[in-house]
Amino acid sequence: MVWRVNRPESEPGLALKHMVRGEIGKLSLTFVMFVMVFYWLEPLRVGFFFSGLVIGMFCNILMPLIEIKYKLSSDAQNAKQHSEQAGQSKLD
Whole-structure pTM value = 0.47
CB 15 within 8 A of CB 2: no
Spatial separation of the C-alpha atoms in residues 20 and 7, rounded to whole Å? 16
* 64-73 per-position pLDDT tens digit: 788 777 776 7
Alpha-carbon span 75 to 68, nearest angstrom: 10
Within 10 A of 49 (CB to CB), how many other CB atoms are there? 14
DSSP 41-83: -TT--HHHHHHHHHHHHHHHHHHHHHHHHHHHHHHHHHHHHHH
In tens, the pLDDT along 12-40 reads 788 788 888 988 998 899 899 888 888 88
Give per-residue pLDDT as tens, 35-62.
888 888 888 788 888 898 899 888 888 8
